[in-house]
Structure 1
């Protein structure tokens, strides 16, 4: 693909991608669940659940226990903005996984987390994609019953979709992390995911935040021009704009984010008790279908199974419309078993406290509810693992 065409396609994708990485985060369920509150073990074949019809027999080849479709079908409202990390939602929709369980997905968007959080907490939206932010923690402190119920994005070692980049103007001058001292460092906002990564990169180089000049560029799409014209020297950047900048000779993809932020939970799926408890049969079916979508994504981009079909689905739901672009960029990593990284969630809580952005007592244990993931994994015949 010619450089200019690739660059245009990449730049067209940025707005939606930026929303995914700096926006809201965290799902909901009322009070932290005690062991006794967890869903019971999946019923044996033929047993009836607490609500809904009978569970079907297990497939003799796959061992998957069939969940009968809800009749009549139930609406499933998903807050998602076209981010590539929403792959599990898109694949489950396009491959009919939601429909075969009697769910009718509808995608909705919000201008900001200030509107999304109350909608999720009140049941106007069933599930939402988001990231860990101080605003999420503060919302939970204010009484909104938001909880994290599944993974929606992390960095893949050696192929992160977040990377530390440097301008090609300064490659000879910036050879080590210590060389960032006194340099202009671009992030999108204070307390953003890229700010956390940037601060961790400084720590890895033995530097503090006071030893660089921060430059806030709220739109990832403006970072490449800033790197080109000398406004900034280094940036915590994101795909697909990193690939665009490389093609244009503007930046050097320098250090993979997992070098200084391994096992980092970037994005999550959120919900509330209005969904997970009051609409439990819908919630269980949602998670089964969602994990099937995650596993198809993993199979496509890690194992090479049905890659063309999955890329086609992704081009229909994200701003990245060029199939060739999907083959070139580093892609978001998604756990095919759906679990989030609890230690990373707790680290981010503590980071927000350290920076004075959060002063409450919420912990990762308060936020994370894996009960639906546990249920879905059991029904899908066990974990896949990475």
Structure 2
């Protein structure tokens, strides 16, 4: 009888300790999540972050994510440097490079890239310009070209188009309008002659009678690394585990996005489900039936495992130097930390 009581007591004690250990483990797991803020634009090309969030990939990596949305690349870079945002996915800008030179920012991966056979960024002109003979990029000399800001990716693309067509950036009138919405309005009204933008916006615009397509950026910048993943130097150097976990979750989101809308290996059901997920963040103010075509149109390749096209990023850096937008002394190592992903 006494022996039975001891066994019962031991069993009860063991069970209680196990339960306490389980509760403690659950409490630790719940409190162990690292809170991060991710900067993004409401573009289809930013979908991997949205997918990773919605499918729990960030949670699986022990990350609690909050999004902060921007309308241009350079303000996001400033937010990273100030600590308001931890990770950003957007184009390289002069502002970003200058912040890297100050030791505030590092590029740690690649995202959107132009790829042969996949619809990419489209060169557009207003109806007024088109009817005045601007029917190809070769006629952009002497014309106005919309950009968000001096030193933006739009500035880089305009310059590369001019270079290949045999004239200089100075031969184009660059018009900085800060926001994508303002650029769309200016092009429709003929206040600017030309612009270039990702396909989910461009394809919708060319359906209107006010805007015409005259070329594609891929013909001027092959393998253009359009957007990159970047973070603060503090995280890149002193909190590398968080950066690795972010990139792992982001990459899973990119795999799902590519499979559903780029490679189309998930069938129509998978594509529809992906569009519905993205619609929570992109064109959310439109009914799904109107938003879906634009979201599908924006399906450009996101680099697998966030691999970075270092060759093109180096070309971008050299262009910024040549234009006098950043210091000549800045090196690729100043801008990029290559410890996190494959480069090519």
Query: What is residue 347 of structure 1 aligned with on the other side?
Result: 315
> For the structure 1 residues 216 and 93, does the alpha-carbon distance in structure 2 shift closer, same or farther, using more than 3 Å as the test?
closer
Q: Which moved more, 1:246-255 or 1:98-107?
A: 98-107
TM-score (norm 2): 0.77
1:95 maps onto 2:59 in alignment: no
Query: Root-mean-square deviation (CA), in Å?
Result: 2.9
Q: Deviations over 1:253-272 (max 9, x none)?
A: 22111100111122211124
Deviation at 1:300, TM superposition (A): 0.9
Query: What is residue 263 of structure 1 aligned with on the other side?
Result: 223
Query: What is residue 363 of structure 1 aligned with on the other side?
Result: 331
- For residue 187 of structure 1, the aligned residue among 140, 147, 153 is 147
1:150 maps onto 2:109 in alignment: yes
Check whether the contact 2:103–2:233 (CA below 8 A) recurs between aligned residues: no
For 1:293 and 1:244, the matched residues in 2 are separated by 25
Query: What is residue 7 of structure 2 aligned with on the other side?
Result: none
> For the structure 1 residues 327 and 91, does the alpha-carbon distance in structure 2 shift closer, same or farther, using more than 3 Å as the test?
closer
Deviation at 1:155, TM superposition (A): 2.8
Deviation at 1:189, TM superposition (A): 2.5
For 1:282 and 1:228, the matched residues in 2 are separated by 43
Check whether the contact 1:75–1:106 (CA below 8 A) recurs between aligned residues: no
Matches within 5 A, 1:1-386: 72-84=31-43, 85-109=45-69, 112-113=75-76, 115-120=78-83, 125-144=85-104, 146-157=105-116, 159-171=118-130, 173-272=133-232, 274-276=234-236, 278-304=238-264, 305=266, 306-320=270-284, 321=286, 322=288, 323-326=291-294, 328-373=296-341
For 1:94 and 1:266, the matched residues in 2 are separated by 24
> For the structure 1 residues 229 and 278, does the alpha-carbon distance in structure 2 shift closer, same or farther, using more than 3 Å as the test?
closer
For 1:218 and 1:125, the matched residues in 2 are separated by 20
**Structure 2 unmatched ranges of 5 or more:** 1-27
> For the structure 1 residues 367 and 299, does the alpha-carbon distance in structure 2 shift closer, same or farther, using more than 3 Å as the test?
same
Deviation at 1:314, TM superposition (A): 1.0
The structure where helix makes up a greater share of residues is: 2
SS at match of 1:79: strand
Q: Deviations over 1:81-134 (max 9, x none)?
A: 3433332221111111122233222223579347413344xxx64322232122
Q: Deviations over 1:229-250 (max 9, x none)?
A: 4333322234443223222211
Query: Greater CA radius of gyration, 1 or 2?
Result: 2
SS at match of 1:247: coil
Deviation at 1:296, TM superposition (A): 0.6
**Structure 1 unmatched ranges of 5 or more:** 1-68, 375-384
> For the structure 1 residues 235 and 286, does the alpha-carbon distance in structure 2 shift closer, same or farther, using more than 3 Å as the test?
closer
SS at match of 2:112: strand
> For the structure 1 residues 221 and 159, does the alpha-carbon distance in structure 2 shift closer, same or farther, using more than 3 Å as the test?
farther
SS at match of 1:154: coil
For 2:252 and 2:162, the matched residues in 1 are separated by 38
TM-score (norm 1): 0.69
Deviation at 1:288, TM superposition (A): 2.0
Check whether the contact 1:148–1:369 (CA below 8 A) recurs between aligned residues: yes
